[in-house]
Structure 1
Amino acid sequence: MSTPSAPAGHPRTFTDRLPSLAEIGPLIALLLACGFFISQSNRFLSFQNLSLILQQTMVVAVIAIGQTLIVLTGGIDLSCGMVMAFGSIIMTKFAVTLGVPPVLAILCGIAASALFGALNGVLITRIKLPAFIVTLGTLNIAFALTQIYSNAESVSNLPDAIMFLGNTFKLGPADVTYGTVLTLLMYGATWFVLRDTVPGRHLYALGNNPEAARLMGLSSQKILLTVYTLAGAIYGIAALLSVSRTGVGDPQAGQTENLDSITAVVLGGTSLFGGRGSISGTLLGALIVGVFRNGLTLIGVSSVYQVLITGMLVILAVAADKLSHRRG
């Protein structure tokens, strides 16, 4: 949770005050990736391209917020991408087919995603099933329900209110979407909760040592159920961002976002063993994924190789986390 302090009676040295490699590693990796693609393409560093990276990253970045909360408890969520897709179909079908007012349709989509999160939480806390198995099962359930309810067809002709977050405003020479602003605000709020509130400290305590947390009087079941339900609601917000960016409710969406979000979390320095990591690192991790995808596209690398490189990145990050855990 925090950097160990110097032994009692000994003043902290300059090296003690330096941030750890886990804290600055994601920033270094992001700068190196940017430096490489700047050297390979003169279009990479343009304001419009940097704005495009933020737009392309915001959906995965928001999903990664929920994934971070879960991973900090020592769990994992493989269903996040398909839960997002289900939420997007609910809100768009309700608005277009059923004529539900747009704001209410959006709330219904977020609620549907939150219910999936609550289902994950109940199965994990009450029946004591492993998070990996539970979320693998709900991934398939969400996928099937999405295809059934949408008839495997995209939903178009959406009302303007659902599309609002995809609108842009000028920030200097770049066009920035309102969805990007919302993403950054969500990261700021999560950073505050994890760093400066009691629930945030309880979440870290549970992930760091469940038995010690129990002896402190913390209810692991209550915390986990809250975290999984909140993560589901966050996936619903990501669904709104996805719809506002693409302009349709796409039943084929969300099929790679689970891997992308886990990659963002582990690249950001959050330990898959729980109890260690930061939401700011996750944002950097999501930007690393976005920079790689964008940069490889600019230099003409096939999308198949982009997926290959993403897979390699997550394996390397998990291996580094494992080695760090062993040394600890």
Structure 2
Amino acid sequence: MATTARAPLASPPIPTTAAERLERARLPSLATLGSVVALVLACAFFAWRTDRFLAGPNFSLILQQVGVVGVVAIGQTLVILTAGIDLSCGMVMALGSIVMTKFAVDLGLNPYLAIACGLAVSTAFGFLNGALITLVRLPPFIVTLGTLNIAFAITQLYSQAQSVSGLPDQMTALGNTFRIGQTEVTYGTVAMILMYLVAWFVLGQTAPGRHVYALGNNPESARLMGIRTARLTLLVYTFAGLIYGIAALMLVARTGVGDPQAGQTDNLDSITAVVLGGTSLFGGRGMVLGTLLGALIVGVFRNGLTLMGVSSVYQVLITGILVILAVTTDQLSRRRG
């Protein structure tokens, strides 16, 4: 008696071409979706524990508190997508803020020209990082650790470890507010959100953005596809330096001074935001909007625990646990893929 052969069970399609892999890399990862869930649960928990959490002014305060690190984290996201790392970002930002404030106050330079000088210095440090990584072929960790110390030393020497006050109004304009209902919102918050939208569009909808993902996925394959990987890496680090300069301006606008002690933990805070947002530390996968979610998660936890009267030590503890969970999720999803 003849038997009919059974057709094999259908399995989900696996991306086989480079284009399919890149498209998959730009979709929300399991870690990114986990970030959304974590943010919603955190908001629900703190809304249950304290009546002040859901107030409009409190949400505005959270956005102000994460604004500077959130902008720094945009540059960090670009770097990590290429499978790199930037430990110098916080101190490069601090140096940029000192340069622009001292040029305006001590040298009497036009405020806009002083801001441009601060942006130029931050961009130059980004270019230096990229040049050492691509031309000398040094590891990003070592290069940016070195430039972190260089930027810190220059900041302290040039400022003589003194804050710069008496800033012109043009430098603090992003700290001004406008009213939405009963809530005061700063222009810096709007600037941060706009920067995230621009970065999301560039990474997701343009050829340079696709090239960044390709570089992070497999540098050799990207080179064989015709992408000039060394030049792209140099551009990513340089552009990240420019973003740190913009963060420096936002920092000055928020604090009203040029602070040489600023930025000393922003490198780790920015990496935390990137990781919590679902971007893989191995490069080539993640979404910049996820980084915004990661920054908001940290901001919500710190704000909520403060409202509850919990010690700041527990804020650091919870942040560390969240980072480990995010990296673990990334590892598991990579192995399953």
Normalising TM by the smaller chain, what interval? Answer: over 0.9
Letter in 1 for 2:248: A
User: Which of the two has higher C-alpha Rg?
Assistant: 2
The residue aligned with 1:117 is 126
The residue aligned with 2:213 is 204
Partner of 1:230, secondary structure, is: helix
Equivalent runs, 1:1-328 vs 2, <5 Å: 21-328=30-337
Pairwise CA distance, 1:318: 1.7
Pairwise CA distance, 1:91: 0.5
Pairwise CA distance, 1:255: 1.1
Letter in 2 for 1:57: V
CA contact (8 A) 2:32 2:279 kept: no
Partner of 1:251, secondary structure, is: coil
The residue aligned with 2:22 is none
Residue 4 and residue 249 in structure 1: after superposition, are their counterparts in 2 closer, same or farther (change >3 A)?
A: farther
Alpha-carbon RMSD across the aligned residues, in angstroms, is 1.7
Q: Deviations over 1:285-304 (max 9, x none)?
A: 11111111111111112223
Letter in 2 for 1:271: S
**In the aligned structure 1, how far is the partner of 2:29 from the partner of 2:75?**
24
**In the aligned structure 1, how far is the partner of 2:46 from the partner of 2:276?**
19
**In the aligned structure 2, how far is the partner of 1:327 from the partner of 1:273?**
15
**In the aligned structure 2, how far is the partner of 1:280 from the partner of 1:310?**
19
Pairwise CA distance, 1:19: 6.5
**In the aligned structure 2, how far is the partner of 1:205 from the partner of 1:135?**
23
4+ residue runs over 6 A deviation: 3-7
TM-score of the pair, normalised by structure 2: 0.91
Q: Which runs of 5+ in 1 are unaligned?
A: 8-17
CA contact (8 A) 2:175 2:253 kept: yes
Q: How many residues of Structure 1 are paired with residues of Structure 2 in the alignment? A: 316
The residue aligned with 1:15 is none
Letter in 1 for 2:179: K
Letter in 2 for 1:86: L
Q: Which runs of 5+ in 2 are unaligned?
A: 1-11, 17-26
